[in-house]
Structure 1
Amino acid sequence: MIIRQRTNWLKMLFIWKGSVLKKIIVQLSVILLFSLAIYFFKGRIFDYKVHLNPTIFTLLGLALAIFMGFCNSASYDRFWEGRKLWGLLVIETRSLTRQILSFVPNTSKVEKQEIVKLISAFCWSLNYQLRDKPGTEHLSGLLSPEQAEQLKGKKFIPSIILGFIADWLNEQHKKGNIDTIILTQMDHQLNQFSNISGGCERIYNTPLPFAYSVLLHRTVYLYCFWLPFGLVDTLGWMMPLIVLLISYTFIALDAIIQEIGEPFGEEENDLALNSICRTIEFSIFEQAEIPQGELKKPDSYFVD
């Protein structure tokens, strides 16, 4: 995800990174060339003059804008829900780490640090699961060899790592290191982890209905390719430029809707899951006084 400080208006016109322009430049070029051809032939296809009233495009554009607004809201809701879930994960990991460090007094510092590493492993494993990546090498540095072996061939690794943490808490409870009240509170934190994981899986496994995407995509492109016929007699040589501007508006919004509708991807406007995980890892390792080696403090968990 790309986050920029707003610059002056002139620089904003030419910003490339973080915009969807590079994804739609081919489509816009084709529409521009098509519009120039329509202008050159005065709106004729062979010997037939295509008569389209600009009023038709006003009505169609209004309907299309309303439908695009609905799809944009649906996509942004998915993006924002994912953002809230990962923001909650940042809070809950720090809370559980604090509880482990403060309320388990008769356990060695090294043992507590191993559990803190498991918390970090949960976050990274959820990241990798949502992005269809194995992440084996990174996770092996946070897990014991026995735990890493148990994860081989498993699909829902975050849930299994939660089980490792729960088993440790139960063991500490049996030893008398955690009383029932504290155990209940920590179990609530683990339930929050499970809710976050399930919420992310819901977003990942239930995309926007495909029929919406197809209808929006088809309507946008049909509208943009028919628009030159309706404006050629009214605008003259300015027609290709006006068509290009209108097409950029609709096609870019269509691309943004598709992009943010899948918030866990790795495109420039998706959630910066790697940076969020690094932020979590840095903060909880700092709490537990775990040496972090080359790991540097993230500037922001908005930028991957």
Structure 2
Amino acid sequence: MIYRHIENLKIMVQYNPKDWITFIFRFHKSDTFRQLIPMMIFIGLYAYGVAYLEMEYWQLSEKHNLKNLTLMHGTLSFVISLLLVFRTNTAYDRWWEGRKHWGALVNNSRNLALKLSAYLKDEHDRNYYRKLIPSYASILQKHLADEETALMLIEGLDLEIDDHKHRPNQIAKMLFQKANDLYVSGKISGDQLIVINAELQSFTDICGACERIKNTPIPYSYSSFIKKFIFFYIMTLPFGYVFSLGYYAIPVVIFIFYVLASLELIAEEIEDPFGNDANDLPTKKMAANIKKHVEEIL
């Protein structure tokens, strides 16, 4: 479908990577600090309870065996750092792969429009592709974001898109069918059909690659283990740290939780780059750019 106007374009966070002050003191709505505030308060109260019991109620001496619990944390810190590095790298690879596929969709849409602009002389045929090529990107964006739409009519064309079937495939079928009709009617030659076939085929290839990213998340057992590991690691920190830090262990434990949990939250957000989170790919904006460029060319 070609929209009369593009609404609510999802734009990634724009920022200056050299502006440290803004990074430190600005809290964007996607910042993990805001999301973790309730849990950080809970962790702080929990650490205070442990500190109070050890120092005031039980009055444990510094020779108590719980003091040696920090040895376990020192050993496990290396393990948890490896897990989180792998987690974030894997999530970023998925985000970047999605960006490359959408970049290919932009380029292939332009290339197809450029070739058809040279081949087609009939204004009706040019208008058909002027509307149908951008519609593939718009439909693919909705398909990947799981945005439901009713039965749609492509503007200016007597064609319908059934929302209950695979929507990108329906547009791809129309693109191939029109190209074959042009060849049968003699408006393009066999060689020209072969030339544009690469771009037509790439649309479905890109759709399949994006679906693979979206429909194949990190294995549940792996993601669940990391969350449990972080939780039990944090919950045992106060028992050992109180002996050396006293009540100062409370902000230390909160900070460690913030760092570890933030890494996991960031990985969760970017591993599916086609959603509506602030750090997801601006697929609506890219679809709008495809529409603009194809209309300029054709």
Q: Which category describes the TM-score, using the shorter chain as reference length? A: 0.7 to 0.9
1:31 to 23, 27, 43: 43
| Identity in percent | 26
Counterpart of 2:153? 140
1:51 matched to 2:66: yes
Distance 2:217 2:89 in 1: 14
Give the counterpart of 2:77 among 61, 67, 91. 61
In structure 1, what is the equivalent of residue 21 of structure 2? Answer: 10
Which of 224-233 and 40-49 deviates more? 40-49
CA distance in 2, matches of 1:7, 1:154: 47
Corresponding position: 1:269 with 2:262: no
Partner SS state of residue 115, structure 2? helix
Kindly provide the amino acid, as one letter, of the partner of residue 14 in structure 1: F
| 52 and 116 in structure 1: CA distance in 2 versus 1, 3 angstrom threshold | farther
C-alpha distance 50-260 of structure 1, shift in aligned 2 (>3 A): farther
Deviation at 1:220, TM superposition (A): 0.7
Aligned AA (2:262): A
- Residues 220 and 250, structure 1, Cα contact 8 Å, conserved in 2: yes
Aligned to 2:134: 120
Tell me which amino acid in the other structure corresponds to 1:203: I
Residues 282-304 of structure 1 show CA distances to partners (whole Å, capped at 9, x for unaligned) of 2212222xxxxxxxxxxxxxxxx
Cα contact 1:121–1:143 (8 A) shared by 2:
no
Q: Contact 2:53/2:59 (CA < 8 Å) preserved in 1?
A: no
Deviation at residue 92 of structure 1 after TM alignment: 0.5
Cα distance, 1:143 vs. partner?
6.0
Residue correspondence of structure 1 range 247-286 to structure 2 within 5 A? 247-286=257-296
Rounded Cα–Cα distance in structure 2 between residues aligned with 1:45 and 1:261: 46
CA contact (8 A) 1:44 1:50 kept: no
Select between 265-274 and 37-46 the one with higher mean Cα deviation: 37-46
Deviations 1:65-114, CA, capped at 9 Å, x for gaps: 10111111211111111111001111011111111111223x22x43122
- Partner letter of residue 199 of structure 1? A
Report what 1:295 is aligned to: none
Contact kept in structure 2, 1:82 and 1:263, CA below 8 Å:
yes
How do 1:217-296 and structure 2 match up within 5 A?
217-288=227-298
Alignment of 1:206-221 (within 5 A): 206-221=216-231
Residue 197 of structure 1 aligns to a residue whose secondary structure is: helix
Return the match for 2:143 from 129, 140, 143. Answer: 129
Q: Distance in 2 between matches of 1:123 and 1:187?
A: 18
Say if 1:173 and 1:180, in contact at 8 Å, map to a contact too: yes
Q: Deviations over 1:238-281 (max 9, x none)?
A: 21111111111100001111111111111111111111111111
Q: State how far apart, in whole Å, the 2-side matches of 1:90 and 1:44 are.
A: 65
Match of 1:201 among 200, 208, 211: 211
Which runs of 5 or more residues in structure 1 are unaligned? 289-304
Measure the CA separation in 2 of the matches of 1:99 and 1:154: 33
Give the TM-score taking structure 2 as reference length: 0.88
Once the two structures are TM-superposed, the CA of residue 206 in structure 1 deviates from its matched residue by 1.1
Q: Distance in 2 between matches of 1:74 and 1:81?
A: 11
Partner of 1:168: 178
Give the aligned residue type for 1:24: L
Pair 97,240 (structure 1): closer, same or farther in 2 beyond 3 Å: same
Q: Aligned letter for 1:134?
A: E
Cα RMSD over matched residues? 2.1
In 2: Cα distance, 1:58 partner to 1:241 partner: 18
> Aligned residue for 2:113?
97
Offset of 1:10 from its aligned partner?
2.7
Compared CA separation, residues 102 and 136, structure 1 to 2 (3 A): farther
**What is the rounded CA distance, in whole Å, between the counterparts of 1:59 and 1:75 in structure 2?**
26
Which amino acid in structure 1 is aligned with residue 37 of structure 2?
A: I
What displacement does 1:45 show? 8.3
Q: Residue type matched to 1:133 in 2?
A: E
In structure 2, what is the Cα distance between the partners aligned to 1:45 and 1:112? 82
Cα 1:271/1:245, change in 2 over 3 Å: same
Shift of 1:232: 0.8
For the 8 Å contact 1:118–1:143, the answer to whether it is kept is: no
SS in 1 for 2:54: coil
- Tell me if structure 2 keeps the 8 A contact 1:38–1:44: no
In the alignment, the residues of structure 1 paired with residue 263 and residue 201 of structure 2 have an alpha-carbon distance, to the nearest angstrom, of 38
Give the ranges of 4+ consecutive aligned residues of structure 1 lying more than 4 Å apart after TM superposition.
43-50
Q: Give the aligned residue type for 2:295.
A: F
